[in-house]
Amino acid sequence: MEDSVVVLVGFIILPILLVEVIAVPVLRRLIFIESGRVEPLRKIIYLNPDYGLTKQLLFWEAVLVPVIYFIEFGFMSWKGYSLSLTKNGFDEFISVSKLPIALASLSIPMTALVAKLHSTSQTAKQIALTTKQIKVVETKNNHDIFYSHRKEFVSFYDVVGELSWFGMYKTAYKIDPRIHARLFNGSPADGAPILKYHYIDEIISKLRSAQKSLDAIIGGSEERLDEAHNSLIDFSRDIFYLIKLFGIQDLGEHLYSDRIVMPYYDVEGTRHVQNSAGTTTPQAIAAYSCVRSYLLSAVEFAAYSKGIAEIKRDTLDYLFTADGFLTRNSNGPILEKVVSRFRRSA
């Protein structure tokens, strides 16, 4: 009984091993001739979507193993019989060969199954390849969109050309491409950048604070020069913050060439110094107008309607007309008086 089991197991396993021993070297050789590559054993044993069905070990096992089973079990079934090419002989052959024929017939569904699995693996690989190609195209498109956005942002300023601010200063009206990253979120892989709305709102708040301080200076009085002085410090701090933010180097150089250096103390009593954003009212207005224009250009480029409206809200018209500030205060220019007093006391 045990011997029969061993023989049966051998009949089942040996054909599989035999096909592998013969087919693997042959397939490796054929693949090498076709592609010039020596494939590892695992790529021969398993279905490989890189090669056709006839170069798959499982295909040949599905074809040949059932045939070998037919011969093996047929040999056992036909033992003791002689060949008879008669009707009775064929009937007897069919009768005693039911198992071998059934085993041989397994070749058809097994081959079809292997072919289907191979086709599925090829389809899956094609889908993966197509997906990868689409991803590559999307990545390239996103990179193009991102850098195009940055290029257009810079060009939005460049096309304006050199500007003169109230006859006080001239600036090239250019912007460093790196400023783009300060104002917009995103990366080349993500495509079009998104405006940092919260950050932009903070910048607009700085600009409005500068306008408020400038109005307080221009509308001050000789009796309250200390307040005007403090407003000048606040105004200058906001203006230089915006100059640094937008990288307006030429405006910064103009202001540094003629300035007063004002000390002040914070709430904790720590001493600081602040360069003045101009020493005359026209200079201060020119500095304000320049940084305002840079910020307005940024939000207009981003089509941020709320930001545009906020910048233009409660605009002090006298700041944008020649000598318009003189109509604001009958006492004359207060900023110049603050500077003059400061220089006398320095």
Token code pair at residue 2: 């045990």
Please give the share of the chain, as a percent, with pLDDT higher than 70. Answer: 99
In terms of residue numbers, what domain contains 219?
160-345
Residues 6, 104, 31: CA angle, nearest 5 degrees = 95
Residue 231 lies in a domain: yes
Residue 18 lies in a domain: yes
CA 227 to centroid of chain Cα atoms: 50
| pLDDT greater than 90 at residue 214 | yes
Q: φ and ψ at 187, to 5 degrees?
A: -140, 165
Which residue intervals of the chain are DSSP H helices? 2-35, 41-45, 57-78, 87-96, 98-105, 107-158, 179-183, 197-218, 225-246, 249-257, 281-301, 305-312, 334-345
User: How much is the pTM?
Assistant: 0.69
The reported pLDDT for the residue numbered 117 is: 87
Residue 199 lies in a domain: yes
Q: Among 280, 245, 247, which residue's Cα sits nearest to residue 165?
A: 280
Residue 143 lies in a domain: no
Write down the residue that tokens 């604001």 correspond to.
328
CA 281 to centroid of chain Cα atoms: 46
Residue 142 lies in a domain: no
- Determine contact, residues 277/255, Cβ cutoff 8 Å: yes
Highest mean pLDDT, choosing among 76-85, 108-117, 281-290: 281-290
Q: Among 24, 20, 116, 115, which residue's Cα sits nearest to residue 68?
A: 20
Residues 103 and 251 in one domain: no
Contacting residues for 235 by C-beta, under 8 A, at least 6 apart: 210, 213, 214, 217, 277, 284, 288
Over the range 36-52, which residues count as b (16 or more CB within 10 Å of their CB) and which as e? eeebeeebbeebbbebe
Residue 311 lies in a domain: yes
- Determine contact, residues 209/238, Cβ cutoff 8 Å: yes
DSSP reduced 3-state for 172 = coil
| pLDDT greater than 80 at residue 346 | no
Contacting residues for 108 by C-beta, under 8 A, at least 6 apart: none
Residue 314 lies in a domain: yes
| pLDDT greater than 90 at residue 324 | no
Q: Residue 195 has what DSSP assignment?
A: E
| pLDDT greater than 80 at residue 84 | no
Q: Could you read off the pLDDT of 191-207 as tens digits, one per residue?
A: 899 999 999 999 999 99
| pLDDT greater than 80 at residue 218 | yes
Residues 303 and 223 in one domain: yes
Write down the residue that tokens 């003629």 correspond to.
258
Strand positions, DSSP E, 56-100 = none
Q: Could you read off the pLDDT of 132-168 as tens digits, one per residue?
A: 888 888 889 999 999 999 999 999 999 998 999 988 9
Residue 154 lies in a domain: no
* Number of folded domains that form the chain: 2
Residues 128 and 209 in one domain: no
Q: Could you read off the pLDDT of 21-45 as tens digits, one per residue?
A: 887 888 788 877 777 777 777 777 7
Q: Could you read off the pLDDT of 221-268 as tens digits, one per residue?
A: 888 999 999 999 999 999 999 999 999 999 999 999 889 999 988 888
Q: Which residues pair with 63 in a beta bridge?
A: none
Residues 218 and 313 in one domain: yes
Residues 169 and 48 in one domain: no
> How far apart are the two ends of the chain, measured CA to CA in Å?
118
Residues 56 and 185 in one domain: no
Residues 272 and 326 in one domain: yes
The reported pLDDT for the residue numbered 40 is: 79
The reported pLDDT for the residue numbered 193 is: 94
The reported pLDDT for the residue numbered 297 is: 96
Please give the share of the chain, as a percent, with pLDDT higher than 90. Answer: 44
Give CA separation, 90 vs 20, 71, 101, 146, 233, in Å.
34, 17, 13, 79, 115
Reported confidence tier of residue 121, pLDDT bands at 50, 70, 90 = confident
